[in-house]
Structures are given as C-alpha cells and as structure tokens.
Amino acid sequence: MSAISPFLDGLDVSKPDVTTPEEVEAFKAFYQRTKGGLIASHAFWLEFRPDVLKRQRARARQTSAHEGAGMTLPHVLAYIHLYTILAFEEGILYEIKLAQSGGASRADILDALALAFLHSGPRGISAVAASSTEYLRTYEDPEPVQKFPETWSFEPGAFKSGIDYSSPEASAEDLRRLQDWYLRTIGEIPGHVRLLAKHRPALLKAYRNRFEHAVRDSLPKQMVPYMLLNYNVVRGNADGIRENLLLGRAFGMTKNQLLDAIAWGMSYGGPAALDVVEASVGELLSELD
C-alpha cells in the first residue's frame, strides 16, 4: 500500500465519537511525513469536532476502488490540477508535497500545472507561484517507483491532431484533421469544437495548440482524461464528463479508474454532481467491463 494512502493516517474511523491522544499524534505524524504538516481544515476539526474529521477520512478511504487503493498518485495530481483552478494556495502546496511523497517527479507536477492553466487563467498560476515557487525550485525527484497503473504510459504524440501550427489561421485542412482526431479517438465531435470551427476557427486552433502541448515531459496520457473528468464532475459539466470518459476509454482506462476520477470529484461537487454523471454517461459506464 502506498505510503500516502488514507488508510495509513492513524485514525480508527470505526469509532468516530472517540479519538484518543495516540490517534491524534499518529494523524499529525502522517501529515508531517507526507505533506509537511497538518492542513488548516484538518487541524480545525481535530480541535473542535474530531468526529467530523473521522467521518471525512472514512469517506476518503472508500473513494478509490480497492484495486487502486495502493496507488493514490493519480487523484493527488488531479487535486493539484483542481486546486490550481480554484486558486487554493495552501491546497496546491500540500498536494505537491503529497505527490512528491507518492513518487511524482517535478516534470509530473509541471505537466499537471500546464494542463490546469487551460482552465485556471492567470489567477490559478499566480496561486501556484505564491505558494509553491520556492518549493518547486528545490524539488528533489523521489526514487523511481511504480506510481501509475502498469498499462498507463507517457506518449508524447497522443494528442497530436496533425494541425499545422506554423501559422495562426485555421485552414480547412486543419479543421478536418482535428475533427478526424476526435472521430478516430472518441467517436464524436464535441459541441465546442463544432461551434468554434464554424465561428472562431483561429481561436479553436490556438486553444488546441495549448491542449496538445500541455503534457510535454512525463505524465501518462491517461492522466489527462482523469484530471479533466474529475474537474468536470466538480463543476457539473455533462458534456465535459462525456468527452473525457470517452477519451479515457479510448486510452484503455478501466471502469474502476474512470470511476475513481468521478468519485473524487464528489468531494467538491457533492452527491448531486453524480446525478449529472448518471444522466450523461450512466449507460456508458454500465457497458464497460
């Protein structure tokens, strides 16, 4: 089991109304070891209502499928992605530290941040800069470990549509190649692609240039639909959920891996976010092995 697993946080979640001094010390030691110290929200509940914290930690232990309980880095990187979009400075830094404890290289972190920049705007990256610049400057890559599922792989050309980026204008050939990429990869063309191709083709090309080159150095291609699926669950975006579930399926992600990304989105989207998942991709999920 991964050293950053929530199962190792020292709390006996079967007894939420009783918290011993030994549990408190074990919990603090876990966070010191994996994140450099307690986060403010956990310290608050530990002082005033530890039962609330214990029930939250019990939920965290059930969020990932048991087959993935020992490999927690994907959802940690997804939280770096989400917290950057939310401009949550404390969260960005402690998840970077946790990712490092889980085996992430600095290149992994920067790839995740580059993808987040597509949706965070300057505000999100300003939060990264304020909280994490010094830490990233001196970041030491951990010893290599099996940090992602064995079938996941870094593939530099995975998102290349064949668009010619030597000029800013979008030619008919550029648009054809992009649409072919979507049809070949996920089997349909998303609405935003159809709209921008018709009304703002140069903007579509400029966005696609950013998207195709965000993950540059190390992240497995499967982390892109994982992070974007998680984010779209949080914001309740049905079309984004569908597009990224289809992309994850095309990249060979298992049903449980896709459900992990969805389930971690419930932490911020609440159970109502899963109503959107059921409406948009419930049948697709049921069809997966």
pLDDT (tens digit, 9 = 90+) per residue, 40-72?
Answer: 999 999 999 999 999 999 998 888 875 545 568
**235-243 LR contacts (CB < 8 Å, sep 24+):** 235/269, 236/269, 236/272, 236/273, 236/276, 237/276, 238/276, 238/279, 238/280, 239/190, 239/191, 239/192, 239/280, 241/276, 241/277, 241/280, 241/281, 242/280, 242/281, 242/284, 243/186, 243/190
Average pLDDT, the chain: 94
pLDDT (tens digit, 9 = 90+) per residue, 4-20?
Answer: 677 888 999 999 999 99
Q: What integer pLDDT is reported at residue 49 of this predicted model?
A: 96
pLDDT (tens digit, 9 = 90+) per residue, 212-263?
Answer: 999 999 999 999 999 999 999 999 999 999 999 999 999 999 999 999 999 9
Between residues 144 and 239, the one the model is more confident about: 239
pLDDT (tens digit, 9 = 90+) per residue, 173-223?
Answer: 999 999 999 999 999 999 999 999 999 999 999 999 999 999 999 999 999
Q: Is the pTM of this model over 0.85?
A: yes
Q: What integer pLDDT is reported at residue 219 of this predicted model?
A: 98
